[in-house]
C-alpha cells in the first residue's frame, strides 16, 4: 500500500503572536516551530496501515528548509521517505493544495492522510482541495477508520454527533484527535532519521487566489468586572447577565 501523509511545520501552540513589519505576516523572531499536532494522527494512521498491509509511508511537507525538522520527526516516528516541496513563499490554501496534489499525482498513492487542520491558518480546507484536484473521494474529521477489500469505512465528527461514511480507495482522509494515539519516536528511530535523505522538489509557482491585506491582533477587550466571591456575587452575576448583557 502506498501511503502519503502531508505534514505541516507550524508555530507551537504557546506562541505569542506578533505582527511582522509588513503588517501582513507573522513576526518570526523568537518562535518555536513544531509538527502541526493533528498531523501526528495522520502519521500514526499511516504507520498502522503499513504495519497491517505492507507498503510504504511517504511524508510530504511544503515550505522552506526549516520544514526538514518536521520531516525528520516524521521519519523518526517511522515514515519511510520524506519529500520537501521546497518553496518558502506564502501560499494560500489553494496553492498549497495544488502543490501537494501535483506531487501526489506523480506518486499515485492508495491513500493520502492529513491532520484535520494546520494550527496556523486554521482553515481545514487543504485536504478537500487536494482530493478535488485529484478527483478522489475524501472524508474529513475522521475519528475511526477501517479498510477492507479496497472499501473504506470511516466515522467522522459532525455537528452534535457522528456520521458513518463509506468510500473506496484511493481517497483522502483528514484525521481528528481520537483517531489513534500517536507513538513517540524511538531512540532508534531518531538516530535512523538523522541519516535518511530528504528528497527535495520545487513545486510549480501559481498565483494565490486569496490575498492578505492586513494582519492584526484582535481588539483588546479590557478587564471585566470582578464580582467577589460570596452569595451576593451570584445574584449580581445573574442580574448583570439579565439586565446588562441581556443574555438571559
Partner 1 sequence: MKILVFAEQREGNLKKSALEITSAGKMLATQLNAEVEVLLVGNNVASLASQLNGFGAVKILVGEDARLQTYSTTAYAKAIADVAKQRQANIVLLSASQMGKDLSPRVAVKLEAGLAADCTALKVENGDIVATRPIYAGKAMIDVKVTTATKVFSLRPNVFSALTQNGNATAVEKISLELSDADFSVKAISTSVASGRPDLTEANIVVSGGRGMKGPEHFTLIEQLADAFGGAVGASRAVVDAGWRAHDEQVGQTGKTVSPSLYVACGISGAVQHLAGMSSSKCIVAINKDKDAPIFQIADYGIVGDVFAVLPPLTQEIKKVTGL
Question: Residue 19: phi, psi to the nearest 5?
Answer: -85, 135
* Binding residue for partner 1, selected from 42, 46, 97, 109, defined by CB under 8 A: 97
Task: Provide, rounded to whole angstroms, the least separation between the CB of residue 54 and partner 1.
Answer: 26
Give the C-alpha distances (Å, rounded to integers) separating 185 from 37, 67, 71, 182, 192. Answer: 14, 17, 12, 9, 11
* Binding residue for partner 1, selected from 146, 149, 181, 231, defined by CB under 8 A: 231
Range 109-131 burial, b when 16+ CB lie within 10 A, else e? bbbbbbbbbbbeeeebbbbbbbb
* Binding residue for partner 1, selected from 1, 169, 192, 237, defined by CB under 8 A: 237
Q: Which is nearer to partner 1, 64 or 228 (CB)?
A: 228
Q: Which is nearer to partner 1, 187 or 213 (CB)?
A: 213
- Enclosing H/E stretch for 187: helix 187-195
Q: Write the CB contacts of 53 (distance below 8 Å, at least 6 apart in sequence).
A: 1, 147
Give CA–CA dist 176/52, Å, rounded.
21
Q: Quick check: 17 binds partner 1 (CB under 8 A)? A: yes
Task: Provide, rounded to whole angstroms, the least separation between the CB of residue 231 and partner 1.
Answer: 6
Task: Provide, rounded to whole angstroms, the least separation between the CB of residue 198 and partner 1.
Answer: 27
Number of residues that bind partner 1 (CB under 8 A): 86
Task: Provide, rounded to whole angstroms, the least separation between the CB of residue 114 and partner 1.
Answer: 11
- Point out which span in 48-56, 71-79, 89-97, 183-191 binds partner 1 (CB under 8 A): 89-97
Contacts with partner 1 in 37-76 (CB under 8 A)? 37-38
Question: Residue 46: phi, psi to the nearest 5?
Answer: -60, -45
Q: Which is nearer to partner 1, 16 or 194 (CB)?
A: 16
Contacts with partner 1 in 108-167 (CB under 8 A)? 119-129, 131-133, 137-141, 143, 153, 156-167
Q: Write the CB contacts of 55 (distance below 8 Å, at least 6 apart in sequence).
A: 1, 2, 3, 49, 110
Contacts with partner 1 in 188-227 (CB under 8 A)? 207-218, 221, 223-227
Q: Which is nearer to partner 1, 191 or 210 (CB)?
A: 210
Q: Quick check: 107 binds partner 1 (CB under 8 A)? A: no
DSSP label at residue 120: T
Q: Is 94 left (phi over 0), alpha (psi -120 to 50) or beta?
A: alpha
Amino acid at each position: 500500500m502506498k501511503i502519503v501523509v502531508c505534514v505541516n511545520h507550524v508555530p507551537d501552540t504557546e506562541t505569542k503572536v506578533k505582527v511582522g513589519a509588513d503588517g501582513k505576516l507573522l513576526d518570526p523572531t523568537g518562535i518555536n516551530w513544531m509538527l502541526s499536532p493533528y498531523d501526528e494522527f495522520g502519521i500514526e494512521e499511516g504507520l498502522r496501515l503499513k504495519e497491517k498491509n505492507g507498503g510504504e509511508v511517504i511524508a510530504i511537507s511544503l515550505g522552506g528548509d526549516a520544514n526538514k525538522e518536521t520531516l525528520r520527526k516524521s521519519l523518526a516516528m517511522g515514515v519511510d521517505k520524506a519529500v520537501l516541496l521546497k518553496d518558502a513563499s506564502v501560499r494560500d490554501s489553494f496553492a498549497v493544495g495544488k502543490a501537494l496534489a501535483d506531487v501526489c499525482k506523480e506518486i499515485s498513492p492508495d491513500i493520502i492522510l492529513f491532520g484535520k487542520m494546520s494550527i496556523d491558518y486554521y482553515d481545514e480546507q487543504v485536504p478537500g482541495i487536494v482530493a478535488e484536484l485529484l478527483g478522489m473521494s475524501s472524508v474529513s474529521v475522521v475519528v475511526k477508520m477501517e479498510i477492507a477489500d479496497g472499501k473504506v469505512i470511516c466515522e467522522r465528527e459532525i455537528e452534535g454527533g457522528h456520521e458513518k461514511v463509506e468510500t473506496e480507495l484511493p481517497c483522502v482522509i483528514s484525521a481528528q484527535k481520537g483517531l489513534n494515539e500517536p507513538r513517540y519516536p524511538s531512540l532508534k528511530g531518531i538516530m535512523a532519521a538523522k541519516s535518511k535523505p530528504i528528497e527535495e522538489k520545487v513545486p510549480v509557482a501559481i498565483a494565490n487566489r486569496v490575498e492578505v491585506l492586513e494582519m492584526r491582533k484582535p481588539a483588546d477587550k479590557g478587564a471585566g468586572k470582578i464580582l467577589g466571591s460570596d452569595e451576593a456575587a451570584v445574584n449580581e452575576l445573574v442580574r448583570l447577565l439579565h439586565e446588562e448583557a441581556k443574555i438571559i
